[in-house]
Structure 1
C-alpha cells in the first residue's frame, strides 16, 4: 500500500525540488549581480588598457635607440615578433652560461672602446670649424684657383661635420644597445625564476586575452634572448658600416684637396696627414698672434690622425660584432640539435650566469660613462 503512495507523490517531490534549486539559483544570481558586473567592468577596462599599450609601444619604438629609453618596458622585444622574423629551428636545450659569456665579453670590449668615439667626434667637429676658417683664408688669398679650392674646403668641412655627427650618434646607439641588452637580461632572469616557481595556469590566459605574452619557459626565454641579441648585432653592424663608409668618403675628399693644392705649386710633402696644416702655414695663418689661430693649426695638422683613429675604432668594433654574430649563430645551431653528452644544465646555473652578466654589464656601463665624460672633458680643454 505504501509503494503506490510513493509513486503517486514522486512528481510532486521532483517539482518541489526543482523549484527549490531554481529559487536558490535566482537568489545566488541576484547576490552576484553587482560583483559580476564589477568584475566584467574591470575585465573590459584591462582589455582597453592592453590595446592602448600596444598602440603606444608601436609609436614609442622610434625612440628606443636613445640611451635610457631603450631599456623601458615599452622597448622590450615581443617574443612572438622575433620568432616570425627569425624562422630558425627552435632550441631543444638551453645554454645560458655560453650565451651570457659571448654577450658580456663583446659588449664590455665595445664599451671600453666607445669612450674614444665621442672624443674623436668632438675633435673632428673642432677641425671642421677650423677648416671653415681656412676656406675663408683661401678665398681671400692670391692663389690662382682660390675659389675652387675654397669651395672644396667648404665641402670637406661639411663632410667632416657629417662624420662628427655620425660618430656621436654611433656612440649613443652603442650605449643604447647595451642598455637594451641589460634590460632584456633582467627580464629573462625574472622569467626563468617565474618559470621555476610558477608552472602557470592555462585558464588564466583565456581570461586575459589582451595579454601579448604568457609566462615563458626557460627554453623560450633562451630563444628570445638569443634572437634579440642577434637582432642587436645586426643593427649595430649596419651603424658601424655607415660610419665606415663616411670615414672613407672623408679620406677621398682629403685626397682631392691634396691634388688641388699640389697643382697650385705649394710645397707639401707626400704625406696627407699635415696637408691642411701646411696650407694654413703657407697662407700665413700660423703667424697670427691670436691663440685661436694656433689652435686651428694644431687641429688641421691632426685632422687626418683623428680620422685614422676613428677608422681604427670602427673597423675593430665591426670585427668584434661579426665575430660575436658568428658565435651566436654557432650556439644557435648547437642548441637546435639534441644534446649528446652530459646532462641538462640546472636552472640554478642559468640563473647564476644571467645574474653575473647583468652585474658585469651594469658595471661596464657605469665605467664607460665615466671614461667618456673624462675623455670629452679633456678634448674640450685642448
Structure 2
C-alpha cells in the first residue's frame, strides 16, 4: 500500500470543529438554556435547523432537518432564531487563536477549519501539543468547546476530529492509517451521501477495506471522477494543501417560499435575489463571469441553469436579465411547483483575467 505520508516532509494537519457551535453560543450566553435541548432555527413549515445542542441530538434532531420534523422529534425543544452576527464574532475570536500557532489556516465555515502546523509559529514540540493548546485557549477565552483531529492530511484529520466528539482529541499517526481506515463504513468518507452509499452497497462495498480491493479503473468506470477520489481515500491519500484565504469562487442568494409556486410566478423573487447577489459581488475585487439559476421543486429535485456571457455582467440589471432568461430554459412540465429559487454568480477570476476569458455556454 502506498504510504499516504510519503513526502520529503510529512505534513502535520489539525482539523478543529467547534461542538454544536451555534447552539453552544446560545447556551453560553443564556444560562436558562444550559442542559436543555436547544434548536437554532426559525419556526415555520419552510424553516430548517441551523444547529442542535447535544441534548436535542439525543432525540434525533440534526442540522439541515426541517424545523417541523425537529419539533415532532423533540416537542420540549427550545427554538432560538439564529444570530449570525454574534456567531461570526465568536468565529473571529477562534480564528485569532489559530493564527497564534500557524499562518496556514483554511476556514471551511464559521465553526471549522484546517490548520497546517508542519512549521508552526509557536514553540510547542508536536502537533498534538498544539491541538491541546488550541482547545484549551478556546475554552478559556470563549467558554466553548472544540474537538480536534491530528493526522498526516486533511481527509484523515477531518475524520479524526469527529472521532471523540464532543470536546475530544484524536491523533491518527501515519503508521496507524491503514488499520484505522479498514473497518470504517464507507459513509464516513466525505462526499459519500445517501445516493452514492446506495450505489456502493449495490456492488457490495460497505467498508473502506472492501473499497480498497477495487481497482481504480473499475471505480472510475462505475462512479466517474469520484471513483478516483474513492480509490485515493481508501488508501488514506490526500495531497491537498491547507489553503489560507482562498479567493471567492461563487456568491449566491436563495429563498425558500412559504408555499410552492409555479415557474411563471418566480419573476419577483428572481429579480430580488439577483439584486442581493449583485450587491454581494461588489464586496470583492474579483469578477464573476457565470450566472447560475438554481431551482428546487416541491419534490426536492434540484436543477440549475447557467450561462457565461461574452463579458461579465456589468450591472444589477444585466445580472437580473440573464437570470430571468435562464428561467426560460427550464423545461419541466408547466404544472411543476417550486419551493426554492436561487441566483448566483460563479467562475470568479482576477479582473484582468476575467476580461480576457472566451465565452462559454454551460
Q: Which band: TM-score by shorter chain?
A: under 0.3
Calculate the TM-score normalised by the size of structure 1.
0.23
- The higher radius of gyration belongs to 1
Calculate the TM-score normalised by the size of structure 2.
0.24
Higher relative contact order (CA 8 A, sep 6+): 1
Structure whose residues are more often helix by fraction? 1
